[in-house]
Structure 1
Amino acid sequence: MESQLETVALFSLKLAYESEDQSPILRDDLVMGDYQRDVFELLVKRGDVAGIQVKVGECVGLAMAAVGGVEKPLGRELQRLATEFADGKTMEHLGAPLVALKAYLKDIV
């Protein structure tokens, strides 16, 4: 799960900060500092669903702004998927929405 969380963060930050005229954002870039696998690993080990949702929400919020918000089709779908993820109450409930969110972000990056 940690790698999927990190991937969602990476794709979100790519949408928000990456431009064609600069080098791509990678997992070891400074912007990924608070969203690296080891950060998510600690949250997962603690079972901190709310903490995971906050971290993912921060990144998805940046991606949402980058795609034009909920007024745009990409933003509406991103919002729907993010809401499903945010509605999870346990670690088990985060799995399927996380996979869907990751796949969607991958497709639009």
Structure 2
Amino acid sequence: MELPLETVALFALKLAYETEDKSPILRDDPIMSDYEREVFGLLVRRGDVDEIQSRVAHCVGLAMEALGGIDTPLGLELHKLAVDFSNARTMERLDAPLMALKDYLKDIQ
């Protein structure tokens, strides 16, 4: 689960901060320090659903702003997927909405 969490954060931060005239954001970029696979791994081992959701929500919120908010088609779909993720109450229930978020963010890159 750690890799998809890191990937969601990476794709969201790319949408929020990456521009054509700058170097791309990579997994080892300082902006990713709070969203590294090891950080998510620790949270997963602890079963800390709330903290995982909080970190993902922060990244997705930044991506949402970059997309123009909930009033845009891309933003509305991202919002729906983020709500599904935030409604999960257990680690097991995070999987499906996490994969949907990851796939969507990858598609809109």
What TM-score, normalized to structure 2?
Answer: 0.99
CA apart distance, 1:105: 0.1
Q: Deviations over 1:70-99 (max 9, x none)?
A: 000000000000000000000000000000
Aligned to 2:70: 70
Supply the AA of the counterpart residue of 2:100: A
CA distance in 1, matches of 2:51, 2:22: 31
Supply the AA of the counterpart residue of 2:75: G
Q: How many residues align?
A: 109
Q: Deviations over 1:11-35 (max 9, x none)?
A: 0000000000011000000000100
Aligned to 1:89: 89
What TM-score, normalized to structure 1?
Answer: 0.99
Deviating beyond 2 angstroms after TM superposition, the runs of 4 or more aligned structure 1 residues are: none
CA distance in 2, matches of 1:17, 1:38: 22
Give aligned-pair identity as a percent. Answer: 66
- SS of the residue 1:69 aligns to: coil
Unaligned runs of 5+ in 2: none
CA apart distance, 1:45: 0.2
Supply the AA of the counterpart residue of 1:86: S
